[in-house]
Amino acid sequence: MNSPANRVSDGGTTTGPTPPDAGGPGSGFRHELYAYQGEAQFLAGTLSFIDDALTGGEIVLVAVAEAKQHLLREQLNGHGKDVSFLDVDALGRNPARLIPAWQSWIAECTDAGRPVRGIGESRWTGRSQVEAAELRYHEWLLNLAFVKSPAWWLLCPYDTDAASGTVLEALGRCHPLQFTDGGHGPSPTYQDSPYDFDELGPPCDPHHAFAYGPGQLGAVREKVADCATAHGLDGTRLRELLIAATEVATNSINHGGGHGTLRVWTEETDLVCEFHDAGYIDNPLIGRVRPHPDQVGGHGMWLVQQLCDLVRIRSTPDTGTTVRLYTTLPPKAG
């Protein structure tokens, strides 16, 4: 049985170091940042990348918002038969769904024996500070997720007109490579070091707190349901939240010292359910890699990531594990 200090099942993450050369020299994965300014530079850089790929017989997947897809399709004008498109907005707010989407596509291409490249641009404008923080963490996790993958190349465009230089600086630390002035090379700002998380802020007031332990999963669901329905959440979205809450609370009881604390509050347009326990987990990718059907364990947090609009996880041996589940509330009438 796993002790609370070495929890290796569902329920947390760590700030462990990036494996050596993740996404850089010596790795099969090339993870490259492309900082551009405006539509013309976006097209110049991405079309050059696509042209190089097609010349080399590679397949390309472009994972960008619908408007950027339209721009590229117009320029390709039917000549990109080996270029596929994925609308990143269709995956929802939760960036934890991006890594399994790339993994599924790469597996299909690998089975077909074709080399691959990708272009992945997340939408940064209109994001809350919390969402932007999780997107930056996703970019860092890509280096971990694909360090042992088949060789492939991911270009990450970032529009400097659309978001802050602070975000660009943070992304530079997550990308081992950069594309600039028409050339590909190492990033001078990349840091092969533990990820620097944004701290979780305190719960908003008013908030509801409930300590739970063995035999109290029904009470956890009741507390969450009471708060959720009071703010207009019902139907399928309520059922999904209750399933996710049950999974996280179960992890606390089974792997987090036998008990935990639930706190529930509203934050901007979301209902937030926070679970804290004494457990610790050393797998930063928990819930972000699709589990194999025959796999024992690891399904719970995967399910949580699929059901919630955003999931934030913080875990250290000293402070335990905190999991925050975000569910978008329906707009208020009137």
Same domain, 54 and 169: yes
Same domain, 113 and 218: no
Residues in CB range of 245: below 8 A, 6 or more apart: 220, 221, 224, 262, 273, 275, 325
Same domain, 160 and 307: no
Residue 195: inside a domain: no
Residue 249: inside a domain: yes
Residue 132: inside a domain: yes
pLDDT tens digits for range 224-248: 999 999 999 999 999 999 999 999 9
What CATH number does residue 80 fall under? 3.40.50.300
Same domain, 241 and 145: no
What CATH number does residue 232 fall under? 3.30.565.10
Same domain, 36 and 112: yes
Average pLDDT over residues 116-136: 89
Predicted pLDDT of residue 142: 94
Residue 164, pLDDT above cutoff 80: no
Q: Report whether 45 contacts 282 (CB < 8 A).
A: no
Residue 334: inside a domain: no
Same domain, 68 and 135: yes
Residue 191: inside a domain: no
Residue 296, pLDDT above cutoff 90: no
Confidence grade of residue 256 (pLDDT, cut at 50, 70, 90):
very high
Q: Report the mean per-residue pLDDT for the chain.
A: 87
Confidence grade of residue 95 (pLDDT, cut at 50, 70, 90):
very high
Q: Which domain holds residue 211?
A: 4-13+203-328
Residue 67, pLDDT above cutoff 50: yes
Q: Considering its fold, how many domains does the chain have in total? A: 2
Which of 186, 213, 246 delimits the end of a domain? 186
Predicted pLDDT of residue 194: 83
Q: Give me the percent of the chain exceeding a pLDDT of 90.
A: 64
Same domain, 168 and 250: no
Distance CA 284, CA 225 (A): 29
Same domain, 157 and 92: yes
Average pLDDT over residues 179-205: 89
Predicted pLDDT of residue 223: 97
Distance CA 78, CA 13 (A): 44
Predicted pLDDT of residue 70: 94
Predicted pLDDT of residue 333: 64
Which of 127, 152, 186 delimits the end of a domain? 186
Same domain, 152 and 237: no
Same domain, 216 and 322: yes
Same domain, 267 and 323: yes
Query: Is the bond into 188 cis (omega within 30 degrees of 0)?
Result: no
Residue 211: inside a domain: yes
